Structure 1
Amino acid sequence: MTHADAPSVTILLLCHKDERFIRASLEAAFAQTVPCEIIVSNDCSGDRTFDIAQEMVAQYHGHHRVSVRRNERNLGVAEHVNATVPLASGEIIVMMAGDDIAYPHRVAATLDAFARNPRVTILGSDFDGIDEEGRAHPLRFRPRPDPFGLDAFVQAGRLIGLLGATIAFRREVFDRFGPILGPIEDNALSLRGALLGQCLQLQDKLIQYRQHAGSVSAGVFARNESQDVAMRRRYERTIRFYRGTADDLEQCATQLPDLAGEGRRHVDDILAMYRIEADSREALLERPRLHWVRPILRGLMQRGARRKSAERALKLFVPRRWIGLRA
């Protein structure tokens, strides 16, 4: 595919409290070999991230069309995506984060993958992990099937969305269904992509994915919090993730009146599975052991949730502190 034949591409570079990293991230966006629209959007952080981006954009002269904006208030990850995708003109949306570094061929490789896989509506990639100083920091990210659809979510029995920092999608994945529900975007977008076609995880490493104390994933997994609160925080956040993702999938499925057969069964299984997982975690976190039994039994009867529910049943017989929760 030549650049002239390529579909229009918008890079959404979303940033928040990234003043230490935004220069490298934006320089990487400028270095993309395919001409793009680049929208730099700051989620109303109180540091100099927005000012640095403004300075760099004002001084930029190249083949990309670049703009910078800022939300009036802090929206959080999913709402930030909701606010910026409608501003994009591209047929392909490439997500970038203000603390990561895309390799120069990322957009070109993304377009090539979409061209070779017409049924794929959303894709992600492998990555090189780095720390806050840019040093190699290996990270484990379980490979996904190649490509995969709704059935893979059922078989996995857990959230297996593409990594948000590596995601690119055909804009119909957003436009067809409207704003994302829930607090995170990657699992919701991945499921939307599977509803409309297929998901794909490229084996190529297309970004440097940075881990640091202020990163989104550090907050999600409470990596920098004390051990006595980390497990509780992870449970609380994961409960919101499962419920929000299920709510988004449900509202998307209602907009597909022709969804039937195996596709409909997969959606119903995923909705039940995710809500059982949320209810189970909430029970373990907050309720007496007697209340653990009902979600565990529901899980044992639900395709996709049986293995985790069987494992959870064993927790009925051990002290809470053994599973990282206070008594």
Structure 2
Amino acid sequence: MMQESTQERPLVTFALFAYNQEKYIREAIEGAFAQTYEPLEIILSDDCSTDRTFEIMREMASEYKGPHRVVARKTKQNRGTFNHVLEVYGEMSGKLMILSAGDDISYENRCSVIVDDWKKSGVKVLFSNFEKISDSGESLGVDESSGDKEIMGWFSAEKRQEFNHGATTAYDRCMFDGLPYSETPVFSEDAVFYFIASIRKYEIRKVREPLVKYRQSINSISNASHPKIGKSDIEDFERKISWMADSYISLCDYILRFLSNDFEHVEIKKRVMKTRRFAVIRKEWLRRDILGRLGLILMCRDSREFRFLAPRLLGLNYFSTVKSRSVRMEKTYRS
């Protein structure tokens, strides 16, 4: 009888991942505690924050009186999102991991809807639509993720699936089997899991119902809530692009390591190497003088790389000045 009950309502892990998000973490945890699905294990995991994020996690976990099992834990050092997820996988008890970010808020029925769909479909990866909210929590309407077109392009010759939106994703625990940690931090964990699912031919299923309030932070690159038009804004954005390029290099290195002895996916490997080369260009141009940037132009092998580098040849100050003036002129023209 107990075995049948467990099969009907399997233990699920709701994993909330955070890093330096003390401003939003209480709302995120309240969303986790409000989940109506049982039995549920909630793991509040902090990636070695430098603010009070973990202290708030620990405080709220100790005060929780509800039906769910709650654990607060932290990494010993900052691992990056992908390694952080794998570390929590090593400690989870559930058969399914539902991921949540420390600045987002899950609807109370999120786990119930995801588990029902997972049981019916038998898929290994699920994600949902989401409601966008502003930095202050104001609703910006329901949206759908278009996914990372760069990574999706690796599978352009194959049957391409929808990209699993990281902040709304759930994974069957078999998804993590046999995956090594990355040697350098990888922050786009959804890109790695999209790749792994595609290589393993796992179906990625989208739940059309919005189940997460997804915050459009002004400090984010991937989900920024306002346009960058000032000179200093553009300079800051270009530095963030360089930082993200470094993360892309780590992502590509991990995947190339994964494919090192794989002779079946040669074309995909070539596309990954192309992405890595472009990421190196995006990372390095800020660090080089004009002669160094000319050297990078000589590295260019396609029009995309050249189009990125050519307007930046004279450096960040010149590029940001010209671009900010161009944006202002275009804005004035349109008005």
Residues 242, 284 of structure 2: 8 Å contact kept: no
State which structure, 1 or 2, has the greater radius of gyration over its C-alpha atoms: 2
Output the CA distance in 1 between the equivalents of 2:73 and 2:296: 48
Match of 2:329 in 1: none
Residues 126, 206 of structure 2: 8 Å contact kept: yes
Match of 1:143 in 2: 146
1:183 equivalent among 165, 168, 186:
186
Instruction: Report SS of the residue matched to 1:69.
Output: strand
The worse-fitting range, judged by mean Cα deviation, of 174-183 and 27-36 is 174-183
Instruction: Report SS of the residue matched to 1:226.
Output: helix
Match of 1:268 in 2: 269
Match of 2:333 in 1: none
Match of 2:207 in 1: 202
Output the CA distance in 2 between the equivalents of 1:131 and 1:283: 33
Output the CA distance in 2 between the equivalents of 1:38 and 1:237: 31
Output the CA distance in 1 between the equivalents of 2:135 and 2:108: 20
* Change in 2 beyond 3 A, CA 1:317/1:70: closer
Please give the TM-score of this superposition, normalised by the length of structure 2: 0.74
Residues 58, 72 of structure 2: 8 Å contact kept: yes
Residues 161, 191 of structure 1: 8 Å contact kept: no
Match of 1:166 in 2: 168
Deviations 1:23-52 (A, max 9, x none): 221121122222211111123334433333
Instruction: Report SS of the residue matched to 2:156.
Output: helix
2:94 equivalent among 71, 87, 90:
90
Amino acid at match of 1:186: D
Deviations 1:211-253 (A, max 9, x none): 335668579x997993342243133123223222212222333
Paired residues, what number? 302
* Change in 2 beyond 3 A, CA 1:284/1:141: farther
Instruction: Report SS of the residue matched to 1:201.
Output: strand
Instruction: Report SS of the residue matched to 1:38.
Output: strand
Instruction: Report SS of the residue matched to 1:176.
Output: coil
Residues 128, 136 of structure 1: 8 Å contact kept: yes
Gaps of 5+ in 2: 322-335
Residues 94, 107 of structure 1: 8 Å contact kept: yes
Output the CA distance in 2 between the equivalents of 1:325 and 1:198: 43
1:250 to 2:256 alignment? yes
1:154 to 2:155 alignment? yes
1:236 to 2:229 alignment? no
| Aligned-CA RMSD value | 3.8
Match of 1:226 in 2: 232
Residues 183, 240 of structure 1: 8 Å contact kept: no
Match of 2:331 in 1: none
Output the CA distance in 1 between the equivalents of 2:163 and 2:147: 9
**CA drift at 1:144:** 5.3
Output the CA distance in 2 between the equivalents of 1:164 and 1:63: 27
* Change in 2 beyond 3 A, CA 1:206/1:266: farther
